Amino acid sequence: MFENAGRHRNAPPQKLAFGNLPVPGTKAGAIVSAGLVIIAWIAIPGATIFILGTVGIGCLVGLGLRWLHDREQ
């Protein structure tokens, strides 16, 4: 019954599907990123604080960069 139980003991660990997922800077990349955020929001209870913090800091940095760009023109 358990004769094949140990055959994967020396196998290399498999990478997770989202570990090496490239997300391009396009509308499709934005949809993929939003989907990953929604999945993390629902599946990982501790991720809520992290997600809110990164969105807040990202907005501040983005607004600052836009202000600098508009000031140069």
User: How many angstroms separate the CA atoms of 22 and 32, rounded?
Assistant: 10
pLDDT, residue 62, reads 93
Q: For the chain, what are the domain ranges?
A: 47-73
24-58: per-residue pLDDT in tens? Answer: 677 888 888 889 889 988 998 888 899 899 999 99
pLDDT at 72 over 70: yes
Token pair recorded at residue 68: 């600098």
Q: What is the mean pLDDT of the chain?
A: 78
pLDDT, residue 27, reads 83
Token pair recorded at residue 60: 């501040």
For the whole model, what pTM was predicted? 0.52
